[in-house]
Amino acid sequence: MDLIVLRGVSFRYDGAPVLVDINMTIREGDFLAIIGPNGSGKTTLVKVILGLLGPSSGEVEIFGKPRQEFSDWRKIGYVPQKATHIDPFFPASVEEVVGMALVSNRRPRSASGREGRERILRALEEVGMGEYRKWPIGRLSGGQQQRVFIARALVTSPRILFLDEPTTGVDAETQTSFYDMLDLLNRREGLTIVLVTHDIGIVNKHVTSVACLNQKLVYHGSHEDFCRSGVFRDMVGRGDHLISHEH
Amino acid sequence: MHALLAYGFLQRAFLAGVLIAVACAVLGIFLILRKDAMIGHGLSHIAFAGVALGLFLNVLPLAAALAVVIAAAITVMKLKDRAGLHGDTAIGIFSSLGMAVGILLASLAKGFNVELMSYLFGDILAIEPLEVGLTVALAAAVLLTVRLNYAKLLFMTFDRESARAAGIRVGRLDMLLMVLTAVTIVLGMKVAGILLVAALIVIPAAAGLQIARSFRAAVRASTAVAVVSVAAGLGLSLALNVPASAAIVVLCFLAFAVFSLRKKGRGVPLRSK
């Protein structure tokens, strides 16, 4: 099933083109990496899909509906870029952070009910953070916080999960276990995952398809074809996996 | 004290004071974490114009202040969005304008300065039955609205972008929070006065934030500080014949000082690093 369809999507910021004529389909079960250099429009593309930015032209279809008509945002989990750049003094416990995502539906008190508490615990256990549920979020390491934010994105049982540069500032060892966890969610739970990253090293190991963006969609297809393609050779030649992502 | 509470005016003062304290304490947590702590200060100055207008037109000052402060709060929000004003600029403009208009009205209609002073410094012990009714109803409405929107307000305060992506209409919630704050400031001005009401929003919440390990705990601690300070402040006012508003604010600060010293090693650190 096609979960997300983009038709001729363009986005301009102050007149300057950021995205140009993007046509793309994200299918159920995909583990898609959106890659590209800094300023290539990766984050903008995700924000346009999620309705955080309106496209200058083109159409976005979510679960078979035009984006303007789509309202069941529980089906979509989102971990924004710099999610872990939170106010370290914010007094929220881990379970409060995860429970936040339960409020977007029509039952505003569901986070505090029994069902809500069970969902929160289940989501935290899924990412291996069950025992930290009473901890203040600011006391956790970057990698642990990232898992909590994944749990928050998972608590509504979404069908698709968007992650924007999820491992920025996280050490290599934590990154490995983090991507293993995403692998498991994709293969065992059948969760569709869209990962924005500048690090094509990740692409090699985990994803099933790749979208390479540089304002335009330079490449979109299977991971195997991508590895054989000239785009990949160019990127490896430039050492793109070594570029630190600061924006 | 127990015997004193048999007096109707004291019962009214306690009831209104405690309810306002709870509303200020709860809203204060959201406002501080949104880095909007000074909004209370700005809106209270605008309330001065509202009170002066009420006295000038001979309508209930509380009602006039409500209308003026809510209108100003909405205008400030719109200006922030549309005029591209930075940070606190819009509230800075309107709070000064509020004071200026208040002073002009006060000078135009000589003779109401004594009553105006009671609003400037607060006089909860002199609260009228009609004002108590209005205060209780509005404070209860503020608290109920916060309760119904608590989870959304928390999500938006913590992570605005994710809240938007989850389908929460953050612009509407911003507006709601501003209106609730406007109503609470106007009600609080009877307790602490225009000059000190902002303290009821900021200090109990700042105290609660010193020791809390969760948002719920922060709200509870802030509420406890505000309620105890208002109750004890009224008691001190009666016992020592000092102004209740000043006593309440000093007590709030003492709680903040104690919590700041206790926080070491357990709660969140002071944010002034």
Class of domain B9-262: mainly alpha
Neighboring chain A residues of B145 at a CB cutoff of 8 Å = none
The pLDDT value recorded for residue A111 is 60
- Check whether A81 has a pLDDT greater than 90: no
The H or E element containing residue A76 is strand A76-79
8 Å CB contact of A100 and B162? yes
The rounded Cα B234 to chain-centroid distance in angstroms is: 17
User: What pairing do the DSSP bridges indicate for beta strands A160-164 and A76-79?
Assistant: parallel
Distance from CA of A86 to the nearest CA of B (A): 8
| Percentage, residues of chain A above pLDDT 90 | 38
What superfamily does domain A2-242 belong to in CATH? P-loop containing nucleotide triphosphate hydrolases (3.40.50.300)
pLDDT of residue A85: 74
Bridge partners for A19 per DSSP: A11
And the tokens for B116? 């105006």
Which regions in chain B score pLDDT beneath 70? 1-6, 83, 87, 111-112, 264-273
pTM for this predicted structure: 0.86
What is the per-residue pLDDT for A246?
A: 36
pLDDT at A108 over 70: no
Q: Stretch A89-114: mean pLDDT, rounded?
A: 76
In tens, the pLDDT along A114-152 reads 788 899 999 999 888 999 999 999 888 888 888 899 899
Check residue A242 and give its pLDDT. Answer: 39
Please report residues of A whose CB lies closer than 8 A to that of B168. Answer: 103-104
Q: Does B166 contact A101 at a Cβ distance shorter than 8 Å?
A: yes
Report the complex ipTM: 0.83
pLDDT at B4 (0 to 100):
60
- Residue B119 tokens read as 């609003």
Alpha helix segments (H runs only) across A100-229: 114-126, 142-154, 172-187, 200-206, 223-228
Tens of pLDDT, residues A146-203:
889 989 999 998 999 999 988 776 777 777 888 888 888 898 888 999 999 877 776 6
The whole-number pLDDT of residue A180 equals: 85
Asked if the Cβ–Cβ distance from B166 to A80 is below 8 Å, we say: no
Banded pLDDT at A97 (limits 50, 70, 90): very high
Return d(Cα B155, Cα B162) in angstroms, integer: 8
Q: In this structure, what DSSP letter does residue A136 have?
A: B
The shortest C-alpha distance from A224 to chain B (Å) reads 32
How far is residue B199's CA from residue B28's CA, in Å, rounded to a whole number?
Answer: 10
**Degrees, nearest 5: CA angle A91-A166-A126:** 70
Stretch A70-80: mean pLDDT: 89
Mutate to test the interface with B, among A89, A94, A106, A119 (most CBs of B within 10 A): A89
CA distance B168 to chain A (A): 6
- Contacts of A224 by beta carbon, 8 Å cutoff, 6+ apart: none
**For an interface test with A, which of B157, B215, B220, B266 has the most A Cβ atoms less than 10 Å from its Cβ?**
B215
Q: What percent of chain A has pLDDT over 70?
A: 86
What does B38-106 look like in DSSP terms, one character per residue? THHHHHHHHHHHHHHHHHHHTS-HHHHHHHHHHHHHHHHHHHHHHS---TTHHHHHHHHHHHHHHHHHH
Residue in this structure with the two tokens 């948002």, named with its chain if needed? B215
- From residue B21, alpha-carbon distances to B14, B79, B136, B253, B270 in Å are 10, 29, 12, 14, 23
| CB pair distance less than 8 Å for A73 and B162 | no
pLDDT of residue B271: 40
All structural domains of chain A with their residue ranges: 2-242
HEC profile of B92-137:
HHHHHHHHHHHHHHHHHCCCCHHHHHHHHHCCHHHCCHHHHHHHHH
**Contact assessment for residue B199 and residue B259, using Cβ atoms and an 8 Å cutoff:** no
SS3 B2: coil
pLDDT (0 to 100) of residue A84: 64
A134 chain-B contacts, CB cut-off 8 A: 213-214
Tell me the chain A residues in contact with residue B162 when contact means C-beta distances shorter than 8 Å.
78-80, 83, 100-101, 152
